[in-house]
Chains A and B, each alone.
Chain A
Amino acid sequence: MQIVINGKKRQLAENISLQTVMDENLAAGGRAVAELNERIIDKQAWNETMLKENDVLEIVAFMGGGSK
C-alpha cells in the first residue's frame, strides 16, 4: 500500500503498525510526535494504530530555532 510520510510517497507492506513505521524511521532514542491524517496519535497508541492506504503521516521533532 502507499502512504505519504513527511510529504513523500512511500510503499509499505499491508498490516503495518504506526509503531513499526516510527521504529524504522527514527534514529534510536529519537523523540518525535506522530500526526496521522492531521490527528496526533499518542505514543501509547502507536502499537495498536494500523496504517491504511493513502494515510498521511507527519513525523515532527524539535529543532534549533529562535524565530522563523
Chain B
Amino acid sequence: MTVSENDYLEIGGKILTSRFFIGTGKFADNKKMPEVIHAGKASVVTVALRRADLKSTEENILDHIPQDVVLMPNTSGARTAEEAIRIAHLSKAMGCGSWIKIEVISDNRYLLPDNQETLKATEILAAEGFTVLPYISPELMDAKRLVDAGAAAVMPFAAPIGSNRGLRTKELVQILIDEIDAPIIVDAGIGRPSEAAECMEMGAAAVLVNTAVATAGSPVKMAEAFSQAIIAGRTAFLAGTGRILAAGASSASSPLTGFLRREEV
C-alpha cells in the first residue's frame, strides 16, 4: 500500500517505495531480517562497516538484505570527519552503491553527533559524488549549511540513539521541516509507531528506526506496525490536520437537533 500515487520520496535520484528506513543492528537473529524488512516495507536499510571477523563461518549481513532496497552504510565509529570519510570510501568499495549516512560521534555518554565534523565530511563526500545523509543534532543553521554542502537529506535525532524515548526534539525538528529545502528524516530515539506517526504528521519525509524494532517482542510485527503508522502519519500530513481550539472551548461535531426537547417556535 502506498500513500497516494503522486506522493513519492526521491533522494539521490532514487524514487523510494516507502518512507520507512530501517537499521539492522541489535537483531537477535539476522536470519529474520528479510521478514522484518518485508513486513515493514522498508525502502532503505542501514548497515555498519567493521573489521571482518576473520575465519568466521557466519554469513554476510548482505545475504539477509533483499536486493530491492537501497543500502545505506553508516559511518558509525567515526569520531572525526577524516574517519567518516575513510569509512565512506571503504563502504563504497564494497560495491553496494554510493549512499552514505554520515555519523560522527565523540560523545560517549549520550552519543550525540558532532555537527561540525559532520559538515566537513558532508562537503567532501558530496563533492566526490556520494549521496550524503548526515545525522545531526537538530539545529537550523547547521542543517542549512549541510544542504548547501550537498546533503541529499538531513537526519535530526528524536532522542539519543537506542533510547526509545520518542520525539524529544519536536519543536526543533518542526523548525527544520518548515525551513529546510531538503527531506527531513527523523533518525534515532523513536520508540513506538505512534511517535513515528507524529513525525510524519509534522511533515517529516521519512523515519529511520532500528532499536524499537530490533528489541521488540516480535520484530516482524513491530516493523509492520511502524509501516502502518508511517503511512497513517503521512496521509494525515497530506490531508492537513484540523484546527485546535483553545483550552476550555468545544465545538459540537453533530448537528444540533431539537426533537428531544420541546422548543418554542
Tell me whether A and B are bound partners: yes
A residues with a Cβ closer than 8 A to B are 5-7, 25-27, 29-33, 35, 38, 40, 42, 58-68
Would A64 and B27 count as touching, CB distance under 8 A? yes
Q: How far is the CB of B63 from chain A (nearest CB, A)?
A: 8
A68 surroundings in chain B (CB, below 8 A)? 76-77, 103, 105, 111, 161-162
B187 touching A63, Cβ below 8 Å: no
Tell yes or no: B47 within 8 A of A by CB: yes
Minimum CB–CB distance for A55 against chain B, Å:
16
Q: Is the CB of A33 within 8 A of B94?
A: yes
Give, as a whole number of angstroms, the nearest-CB distance from B134 to chain A. 12
Chain B stretch 60-117: residues in CB contact (< 8 A) with chain A: 60-62, 73-74, 76-77, 86, 89-91, 93-94, 96, 103, 105, 111
Cross-chain contact B94 with A31 (CB below 8 angstroms): yes
Q: What is the bound-complex CA distance between A13 and B101, given in angstroms?
A: 40
Name the CB-closest residue of B to A32. B52
How many interface residues does B have (CB within 8 Å)? 48
Contact yes or no, B51 A25, CB < 8 A:
no
When A64-B25, A64-B48 are in contact, do A40 and B89 touch as well, CB less than 8 Å? yes
Which B residues lie at the A interface, using CB under 8 A?
22-27, 30, 33, 46-58, 60-62, 73-74, 76-77, 86, 89-91, 93-94, 96, 103, 105, 111, 135, 161-162, 187-188, 208-211, 214
User: Given the complex of chains A and B, what is the CA–CA distance between A29 and B212 in angstroms?
Assistant: 32
Q: CB distance A60 to B49 under 8 Å?
A: yes
Would you call A65 and B46 a contact (CB within 8 A)?
Answer: yes
How far apart sit A68 and B74, CA to CA, in the bound complex (Å)? 9
Are A62 and B73 in contact, CB atoms less than 8 angstroms apart?
A: yes
Is A63 a contact of B23 with CB atoms below 8 Å?
no
**CB < 8 Å neighbour of A29 from B30, B60, B76:** B60
B49 touches A66 (CB 8 A): no
Select A62's contact among B60, B77, B86, B208, beta carbons within 8 Å.
B60
**Does A7 lie within 8 Å of B51, measured CB to CB?**
yes
Contacts of A30 in B (CB 8 A): 52, 60
The CA-CA distance from A53 to B46 in the complex, in Å, is 37
